[in-house]
Amino acid sequence: MRLAKVHRGHRLRERLVLAMMRIVMRSPAPGVVRTLLYRQEFFGARHSALTQQVMRGPSEWSVGERELFAAYVSKLNQCVF
């Protein structure tokens, strides 16, 4: 379930980014992108920093392996991201 505020409550700058994405992709931005752009100072920036650390930080797994794991889990969850 997605909150209507997260789906439609973006500031002007973020609405413009989402509009450009819709034009380029020929479909609405995925829900995860909308969530990350909504109130970035509260959630998006922290989540993005954590994701960057997990996906690119020190690890026994290569970056490619981590990307493959993420893609596989997303597929299992029927997530387009």
Number of alpha carbons in the 13 Å side-chain half-sphere of residue 29: 20
Q: What confidence tens digit (pLDDT) does each residue in 11-64 have?
A: 899 999 999 999 999 999 888 888 888 888 888 888 889 989 999 999 999 999
Q: What confidence tens digit (pLDDT) does each residue in 2-18 have?
A: 677 777 888 899 999 99
Tell me which residue has tokens 């991201």.
Answer: 81
Nearest of 80, 12, 15 to residue 70 by alpha carbon: 80
pLDDT recorded at residue 68: 95
pLDDT surpassing 80 at residue 80: no
Q: How far apart are CA 23 and CA 29, in angstroms?
A: 10
